[in-house]
Structure formats: C-alpha cells, structure tokens
A and B are shown apart, each in its own frame.
Chain A
C-alpha cells in the first residue's frame, strides 16, 4: 500500500480562518432588504387546552401578521413520528410548545405585541415522572404513554450461578446541548420557490419536513445550511425553519427568526433522562456471567428519536464486555416534560454511567482491582456482544485499557493534604450509525470544476466536528493534492445529493467512504481520458499530482485538470453501512463499526465545601485510523468537557415541566478553569470497512467521562453516587460533612 500523504496529518481546518475572521455566516448574520422579524409565542403550561386571542396584538402598529395553526397546510412534523404540531391548535403538551409566530417590522414591536396576545389555558393533568407515565391514567398521545419497548435476551440470566453480584439503580438527568449559536432561520421567496437558510444537522431532511408542512412539492423548497454553531444532536428536530417558510410564503417578504438563549433552551430537544435498575454478576475467576437491567427513558412530550435512543441504550448496556447471559428490558415513555431527543452518545452515554460503576462495585466486592476485572472481560476480536454480534476486526479496547492504566498509575501520588484525592477509570463502547438494518446511506459526487479543481458535492454538515476538513483530506489523498485545493459543496440542497444526517458519528465513516468511492471513480475516468489522449496501452505508471496528470516514464506527456473542465467528468460514490434488524430477543448486528476508549481521571474534593475538581486525566481513544489527529484531540477535549458538565454541574432543574435553569447564569457549563490538561493518546487499529480505516469518534469521546469521574469520587470519598450531577450540595448530603 502506498504511504498516505494527507490522511493522517493534522491538516488545517479548511473553514477555520473564516471562522477566526468572523466572516463565516451564521443565519443570524444575514440581513435582507425588507426583512421582517418573527417571534414565537410559546406555551407557558405543560399540559392544557387553550384559546388564544390575537386581536389586540394584530392592531399594534408594525405587526404584519400572526401565524397560527390555520396557516399550516399539514400541521405535523417529527423525525420519526409526526407527533409535533407546527403550531399547536388548541392543546399544548409541554412548556415551550409553539402556538403562534408574530411577524413584525422589528423585534421591539414583536416583543410588545407578544405582551398583547391573550392565551387562556384550561389545565389538563400533567405527567411529570416515569412512574406516573407508566400508570397510563393520563395519555399524552394516542393510546399509551409507552412509545417504545425493547428487550435484549441472550443466554439464561441466573444470579445463583454467580459468586459475586452487585445491583444498583442509577438516575441520569435530562441535560441541554448548549451549542453556543442559538437557532436562527431566514426564509425568502425565489420566484415560486421558498428558500430557507438555517443551521441544521440535516438540510435534506429539513427540506422534506418544510415542504410537507407548507404543502409544496419538495422541489419547491431549497434549504441552505449556513454555518452551524455546534449541534450535538440538538439540531436534528426542526425548530424555526417551517415557521419562517410559512411566513415568507404568505407575506412574500423575507422572515427572520433568531432565538434568544432562553428560547433556544425551550425550543429544542434534551438528553433523555433515564432510570436504570441494573444487576451484574461474576464468577470466582473474575468472569462476568450475567447482567440484568430495566431501563426507563423519559422522552417528554414528543418522541423525536425515542425508540432509536432506547435501542442504542439497551444494546450498549453491557458495555465493552463479553457477558454470556444478558437480559435488558427498556421502555421509553411520554411525559409532559421537555421533549428529549438526540444528544451526543444517543442513549449509550446514559448506560455507561451504570455499567462502568457496576464493574467498579463488583471488583471491590471481589477484592480484585477494577483494572483486572475489566481486563478479564473486555471484548476482543471474535467476541460476541449482548446481541450476539461478532466483533470481527478493530476491537482495541484491551490496548486502550492497558495504556490508560499505565498512564493513570503515573498520575498517582503527590496527593495534597486536607483534600480527598481519588482516581477513576472507565471504558466505553459506541456503535456507529442509524443502525438496526435501516438503510444508512451516504452519497457524494466528485467532479472537476471550471477552475480545474476537484469539487466534492454532498449534503453533509460541518457542525464544528471537522467534517469539511476530513472530506477534503480523503479527496486530496485520492488526487494527491493539498486538502485546501478541494472545493467543498455541502450547504445547498439544490446541488448536493442527500447524504444522511450529521449524527450517529457517521459522517467520517459513511460519507467519508462515499467521498473516497466517488473520487476513485472520477480518478479512473481521468486516467481513461489520459490513456486515450496519449494513445497509451493502459493506466500503468500514470501519476496524478497537484491537479495534473503525467506519465512517470515520460513526464512531458502531461495534462492539467483544467483541460478537463468542460468535459463534465464526474464520479459518484454511494456507501451504505451493513447492519441488521434486531430480532424479538434483541439479537442481531445492529451497528457497525464500534469505537472504544478508556479514560483515567484524578479528582480532588474539598471535604468542607464538597467542591470537586478534576485535576488530571489520560484519555485513550480508538479511532480506527486517524484522518486528522489534531481534530481528534479537539474532539477528545470537547467530549471530555461535555461529560464533565454532565457529571458535576449541569442541571436544568425541571419542575412540573418547567425548565427553571434556562440561562447560562444558572445552567452551569464548565469553563476553562474547570478543564484539566488531558493527556490524549490515539490508538490506531484500522477498521477494514472504514475510509483508510477510519471510524467516527464524535460521540464516543463523551461516554466514559461521567463514570470515570464518579468512580474517582468513590475512590476519594468512599461514597458511591448513582444520580447526576454530583454538585457540592449533593456531595455533602451523602458525604455527611
């Protein structure tokens, strides 16, 4: 195999300088002639019937219109089930449900008008806990509050056959994505077509949802994805896009909607809160024998991806371990809480809080080290998961674990006086992609553009994860040029093929494969042309380099790509991941590939205040093959800090469906001062189906963080925390200060 030239280098982020110069356009940065401002009226009650009166508001000078359910052609949307209404038409099911959109000449007028809107609510019984939801006394949609049930049933779970057993119930909360760019959209007309400029994870899906709601053919809707200021799953469910489109179509002026921070927190999904009742057993030899679990997930008022998230949670509940007997039952439930959907890890983050603490608890009970117990049970090549899926290649979890243990041991010692010091270890597993046999398709078209440069077209999204740079590196590797020479066309639904969503850690693997295939196909066509042009016998000994083609033995026979500009040469690449549907016992090959990691952390706790400080750490990440090592390090730091917030700080404080903490002054995110300088180690074990061996890591990097910190807290204090976040107050309550 030829040595790789750009894949594997820390090539500079292709759109990075535009972001640093402040010229990258997020939708809120667009100003249009004659634009109007849209302001959403949202429910202030979690479950109620309502009557609204807009007369006074409409009379206010500068108010152009107020859009309601009457203005929607098909008043429903949703990524999986159409259970959201574009504007609620008489019943609200959560605080923050959209009721109407005030359209005014400016924001001040729109705000003034919002105070004149009269909404009379008639309260309906609210369901705010899993327990209440299960009773099915108040039904939120259709016939039952149970939106999904999943069972994983392998072998025979019998704890009598185990020498050591631990059990515990873990509770993880609903948390907020807190991407820094609040949602914004601007919609306008181009002839009979509606153009919606927004920040989304999936422009082609938005296009379909907008078209359905406004009653136009999909071809009449163009979505332009502006720069996306972070997403983490929170931009998968549509928010302002349909509202703006309806306004533009009705009023025939550009409609701009920009959410404030508080509205952003109200508008989009949250991470699923889960309750996980788990039991794990091992034999005397330190082999895990059985795992049993009941997982309940609160999806709030709308389904979003609830069944898929529940599936990912249940499949991953056994962690990166080979356990012969597993029985997991999961249910996802509607409540009148804020709706939950995709968030980095997609169910796999929640269950790691359980399985990685259970392993530590079991090791303690057995009197062996937590490292040793993990080592005896981690998946290897040939191992079978809880769904009986064979891990047939790229399973370097043992290597990750060994490195993490060695590096964590180097951090030991020098413990400060008067401070509780502890060390924690956690592993994780994450299966890429939509999964469960669903066609997980990526598409790309590669061509030579008019400037003689390679242009790749695919509707993938640069959410900040570095997809543009990764795709440019993959294409530049095929064409032996610099990544900066690759022209990327990914923002406009008119001239890109649908490549699926920027989610499920699937872009590097799926779209990366499609980009590579399309570029290889185009390369073949370029070589054919060259062979014909110079009347060569075959393609042997022809080099492509820096947008030029030449014969290596006679370099005077050469041709510039620009010569090919007018020939419309293009290559198409499609890649579909290989997964199967789970059977009734939850057996199958639901995801591929799987990514792994190991994390060791050192924490210091002030026993007087309960303040917990993560002071050091070592993060070992399996990547298959690193396309861009620096970007991977950036993901590892970023995943860590999100997990740190989950473990110690982030609390929406939801009371009767109301989010109390919806500002950054009370929803506490980690700052630079909370972040330790991690040692980051990348482990390469190329995945044979990945582009150059690469796997996605965007979600994987968040998963082991909270359990590693919780294990370290136990090591420091002797107190096991089963509920997040462990704030100083919560710590002192259990520590007994």
Chain B
C-alpha cells in the first residue's frame, strides 16, 4: 500500500506491505539505522521515534500508520535535537550507546511539551526507555540541563 509521510522533514511516498513494522521500514527500507531494536515488544524503548511529536515504540507501530503523519528519528537535523545531544555528551550520559537514540528522542518529546521539567517529570518521560549501563542519573541530568539551555535560547 502507498503511504505519504514526512520523515525528518522530508516528504516521501512509499509502497509498504500492510504487515511491515515502522522499525523495519525505517531500518531496512530507508536504512535509517539510528533507530535500534532491543526487545520487539515495546518494553525497552530503544526503537523510540517521534510520531507527530509523540514518543512511540517503532516496533509496535505499523508502517502504514504513519500515512499522512510526520516521523522524527535520531538522524533528524534539528537545532533543539543538536542541543540535547551536545548536552548528553557534556553530562557523560552515553555509555554503550544502544539506548541513546531512543533516550534522546524521548527527551525531545518531553521538552517540546514541558519546557521546565523537574526530576520526576524526566524520570516519567524516560521510564519506558531501559538502559543497562548508566543507572539513568546522568541521562536525567542531561535532560534537565538541556531544558535550561533550550529555555535560554527561547528567551
């Protein structure tokens, strides 16, 4: 079936089979391999992308469901996303890195809606993103620092 969708700001038309998952469409058809697969059942959040601004697990979304919608992946070139990534690096958030694309996108999804999140808001926003390396704390610090930087930019 033909879908019309926007991937990282670029409009595309694509023929996808009805049983194609969004994660496979991104990784295998578009070779956007920044989106990672960790559990295939929506538990780990490594495959998180933004669908019309909402953080979703791309292993639980079918490709046809993005018809008429906009998808943001870690490959997006977006000023806010760059600031978040740079802050993650400064705070020492990444370790093995496999959860990072999902974490960054969950952070972006949160910060688009909540400009000044507190620690609990941040914990809630990434509670669907598992990380086995970091213990989450430096990731949370990075998201809070990102919100401060993004707030400064908007003022």
Contact = CB atoms under 8 A, between A and B. Distances in A.
A572 interface: no
Contact of A665 (B35, B43, B75, B90): B43
A595 interface: no
A342 to B, nearest CB: 15
Give the interface residue-count category, chain A.
Answer: 35 or more
B41 A466 contact: no
A20 B96 contact: no
B92 A673 contact: no
Interface stretch (B63-71, B128-136, B147-155): B128-136
Contacts of A437: none
Interface in A629-652: 630-631, 633-634, 636-642
A13 B46 contact: no
Contacts of A13: 89, 92, 94
Contacts of B123: 672-673, 675
B133 A638 contact: yes
Nearest to A701: B135
Nearest to A680: B137
A23 interface: yes
B33 A29 contact: yes
A22 B75 contact: yes
B134 A638 contact: yes
A530 B128 CA distance: 57
Interface string A168-203: 000000000111111000000000000000000000
B101 interface: yes
Interface string A216-242: 000000000001111110000000000
A315 B10 CA distance: 60
A465 interface: yes
B105 to A, nearest CB: 10
Nearest to B141: A677
Chain B binding surface SS class: loop
Interface in B112-146: 119, 122-124, 126-140
B95 A464 contact: yes
A663 B134 contact: no
A124 B147 CA distance: 60
Given A180-B99, A634-B95, A261 B137 contact: no
Given A10-B92, A677-B137, A678-B137, A17 B85 contact: yes
B39 interface: yes
Interface in A576-600: none
A305 interface: no
A465 B94 CA distance: 10
Nearest to A23: B34
Interface string A338-369: 00000000000000000000000000000000
Interface in B28-84: 28, 31-41, 43-44, 46, 73-75
A465 B33 contact: no
A466 B90 CA distance: 14
Contacts of A179: 96, 98, 132
A663 B41 contact: yes
Given A182-B38, A664-B44, A669-B130, A634 B96 contact: no
B22 interface: no
Contacts of B111: none
Contacts of A177: 132
A630 B139 CA distance: 12
B96 to A, nearest CB: 3
Contact of B138 (A23, A229, A634): A634
Given A179-B96, A633-B138, A677-B119, A12 B33 contact: no
Given A25-B33, A227-B96, A630-B92, 6 more contacts: A12-B92, A19-B100, A180-B44, A638-B95, A641-B136, A663-B43
Interface of A: 10, 12-13, 15-26, 28-29, 31, 177-182, 227-232, 260-261, 463-466, 630-631, 633-634, 636-642, 663-665, 669, 671-673, 675, 677-678
8 contacts: A181-B96, A466-B95, A634-B134, A637-B137, A638-B132, A672-B127, A673-B127, A677-B137
**Pairs A-B, 10 closest by C-beta atoms:** A22-B34, A464-B96, A19-B97, A637-B135, A229-B98, A664-B43, A22-B74, A29-B33, A641-B135, A630-B92
